Amino acid sequence: MKKVRVATIWLDGCAGCHMSVLDIDEAILNVARRAEMVYGPLVDAHEFPKQVDVTLVEGGVSSQEDLEKIRTVRQRSRLVVSLGDCAVTGNISAMRNQTPTRKLLERIYVEGADVMRVVPSDGVPALLRHAVPVHEFVKVDLHVPGCPPSAKAIAFVLEELFEGRVPDLRSKVKFG
């Protein structure tokens, strides 16, 4: 059987959703049997591959870099899954949205710092005005809310997708 090409990507999130992916216990054996992990923080690939079947997206879209990444992901993936509240709703990453970005950066890097009191600009991507859910920029095929989504829900989603079904998540997932 041809293996399903699965990628994961980490945008503006805390890595908790990736932790939850690793937390699926024995279901990970099935994932190993059915899927090939082609990209993600857990994999040693540098560039997002050309053809991916399923991409799990953790985190909201918060910076110019996130935006470029998610557009590449959408172009190269058959299915895009928003994994976790930050990707689905903005959640914690969106808690900065009430403060203008310039003020926010100054509050943290100037007022909040003891040394090197300067807003970093070299080699860091510019922040977007708001951190927003993934589906505000690209089409998302499936939303799996939760902070993080339970390992059980993730295992269920992966198994259903491997079988070629759309998982029915009613009553299986919740915000928060």
Partner 1 sequence: MADKISVRIDGEYVAAQQGQTILEVARAGGKFIPTLCWLENLSPVGGCRLCIVEVSGVGRLLPACTTPAQDGMSVTTNSEKLTQYRRMALEFLFSERNHQCAVCVSNNHCELQSMAQRLGVTNVRYPYSFPKMRVDASHERYVLDHNRCILCTRCVRVCAEVEGARVWDVSGRGIHSLIVSDMNRPWGDSKTCTSCGKCVEVCPTGALAEKGFGVEEMVKRDRKVRRLAGRRGGHV
Q: Which residues in this chain contact partner 1 in the complex, by CB under 8 A?
A: 82, 85, 88-92, 94-95, 97-98, 130, 132-133, 135-136, 140, 143-145, 147, 169-171, 173-176
Nearest residue (CB) to partner 1, 36 versus 106:
106
Nearest residue (CB) to partner 1, 72 versus 97:
97
Phi, psi values for residue 122, rounded to 5°: -85, 125
Would you state the structure tokens that stand for residue 138, as one six-digit string? 């690209």
Nearest residue (CB) to partner 1, 50 versus 139:
139
Q: Give the separation between CA 93 and CA 66, rounded to whole angstroms.
A: 12
Give the nearest distance from C-beta 108 to partner 1 in angstroms: 18
Nearest residue (CB) to partner 1, 40 versus 90:
90
Q: Give the separation between CA 66 and CA 137, rounded to whole angstroms.
A: 11
Give the nearest distance from C-beta 54 to partner 1 in angstroms: 17
Give the nearest distance from C-beta 52 to partner 1 in angstroms: 21
Beta carbons of 92 and 26 less than 8 angstroms apart? no
Give the nearest distance from C-beta 93 to partner 1 in angstroms: 10
- 62's CB contacts (< 8 A; 6+ apart) are 11, 12, 93, 127, 128, 131, 132
Q: How many residues does the chain have?
A: 176
